[in-house]
Amino acid sequence: MTGDSSRVVRSPPGNGGPFFSSETMIGRTVSHYTILDKLGEGGMGVVYRARDLTLNRVVALKFLPPHIGGDPDESARLLQEARTASGLNHPGICTIHAIGEHEGAHFIDLEFVDGRTLGNILGQGGLPLERALDYALQICDALQEAHANGIVHRDIKSENVMVTARDRIKVMDFGLAKLKGSAKLTRPLSTVGTLAYMAPEVVQGGEADARSDLFSAGVLLSEMLAGSLPFRGDHEAAVIYSIAHGTPEPLSRLRREVTPDLERIVNRALEKDPAKRYQTAAEMGEDLNRVGKGTPLPLSSPPRESAPPSRQAPAIAPRVTLRRAILALLGVLVIVAAWVFYRTGPGSSKAEQGGRKMLAVLPFENLGAPERDYFADGITDEITSKLSGLSGLGVIARSSAAQYKKTEKTVRQIGDELGVQYVLQGTIRWEDAGGESRVRVTPQLINVADGTQMWSQSSEAVLSGVFTIQSEIASKVAEALNLRLLQPERQALRSRLTDNPEAYDARETEQR
């Protein structure tokens, strides 16, 4: 195990024992290990290269933060996690040899990996296509082994993947990420770099499972192909919103060699809903293997039923004759043709597809400080998302409406260009007083045909109440358009993305 060196960490007074600094550790003997040099440092400790004097082998010793050793519950969790992870025996997983304690400091004896982190390699840009596919396959293989043993990594990212001198992958820190995962998103321990790999359900406070690891693997594959992360932002709030709501730029636009099948694999791994993602690492690996061999993916590859990963033998596909396959394909084509005729046949128009009312939600205008533009974008995204799922209403994609941010064009021009009957726009004002921020949101629903205002109502709330405002705006728009909503749709309009105001308020990032 190796990595880039960074700052020296010392134990704060009275926090459960020393956390040895590099100045005092090099050349020392700790238990039956001689410390040779420092390899790197991260949120879960400092790592040294050491020689095991008993077995005469080079290992990596990870010394853990002092708060773990000082808390009996954390110490018990550490021991349990290490025992579980030490049972993993796979060429793509860094082996845990032992766990020990020296002068109040807890450490883990790990397999020494001679190589570089994938993050260090990706700092130079994207990888060749074949190499990215090879690494992704190896990562999936390692994850399948861990998941089959009931272990979820919870922190798959480029810095936790090593590439050896022989170009083989080693996934690091199995069993340790759960400890790191106990930190809340708003605590200073969290970083934008780590956050960018988290699954939507995790950033919204849910539990991570095997499918969360596969989302992270999808982020990593996208990064290997594009040379940049799919979900980005200047602060935690922006990254959180991007993960929960954002749609990454298509890989094929960023890199010409990315085939439609490879893009399908990445898109499926990055599905917001865990049930729509790959359900096992083996399943994702199968599709990656097909693409690597130039074999087309199946015409339809819906997510399989979610089930706990197990060491079951791969299912054998039933034999399908060519005649049956052709008949099935013809049946699908007939259904698709009928659907297209229904949606675009006689009587349809650009402004009214299949009887639906068409709406564009234009970017809400931030009338406050420029650094709060992200908040207006978040409000716009959330309202667009809530309205997009309603019966009888077609909502123009956020990416298409975004081009009209701060535009000089009239509502009539925008309506003609987008082919919509209605436009929703709005402004956001701020008031900072008494240590809290208040937000005033003023939406306007406009009829494109005559430019009349169909509905407008200002709403004001403290920052934490803005989530209710979003739901109210969506509900009032649906009411003004006379939409007949089903009960589940009414409930969806009342739901909120998050109860965490820090998901929008970036002020806490000043702490870092």
Residue numbers annotated as active site: 155
Name residues whose C-beta falls within 8 Å of residue 505's C-beta, 6 or more positions apart in sequence: 237, 375, 437, 463
Distance of CA 271 to CAs 243, 303, 343, Å?
10, 10, 26
Phi/psi of residue 218, nearest 5 degrees: -65, -40
CA angle 208, 131, 110 (to 5 degrees): 55
E strand or H helix at 291? helix 281-293
- Rounded to the nearest 10 degrees, how much is the dihedral formed by the CA atoms of 219, 224, 226, 227? 110
Question: Please, what's the b/e burial string for 487-497 (b: 16 or more CB within 10 A of its CB; e: otherwise)?
Answer: eebeebbeeeb
Classify residue 363 by burial, with Cβ atoms within 10 Å: 0-12, 13-18, 19+: buried
Question: Please, what's the b/e burial string for 375-402 (b: 16 or more CB within 10 A of its CB; e: otherwise)?
Answer: bbbbbbbbbbbbbbebeebbbbebeebe
Write the DSSP symbol of residue 158. Answer: G
3-state helix, strand, coil split of the chain in percent (to 5) is 40, 20, 40
Concatenated DSSP letters for 439-505? EEEEEEEEETTT--EEEE--EEEEGGGHHHHHHHHHHHHHHHTT----HHHHHHHH--S-S-GGGT-
CA angle 166, 167, 173 (to 5 degrees): 105
Name which of 182, 174, 229, 187 is nearest 202 in CA terms: 182
What's the CA gap between 474 and 489, in Å, rounded? 11
Q: Are 433 and 427 in contact (CB under 8 A)?
A: no
Helices (H) and strands (E) in the chain, counts: 19, 16
Name which of 321, 323, 317, 289 is nearest 304 in CA terms: 317
What's the CA gap between 146 and 87, in Å, rounded? 10
Name which of 66, 59, 51, 52 is nearest 20 in CA terms: 66
Angle between helices 129-148 and 281-293 (to 10 degrees): 160
What's the CA gap between 303 and 214, in Å, rounded? 13
What's the CA gap between 478 and 387, in Å, rounded? 8
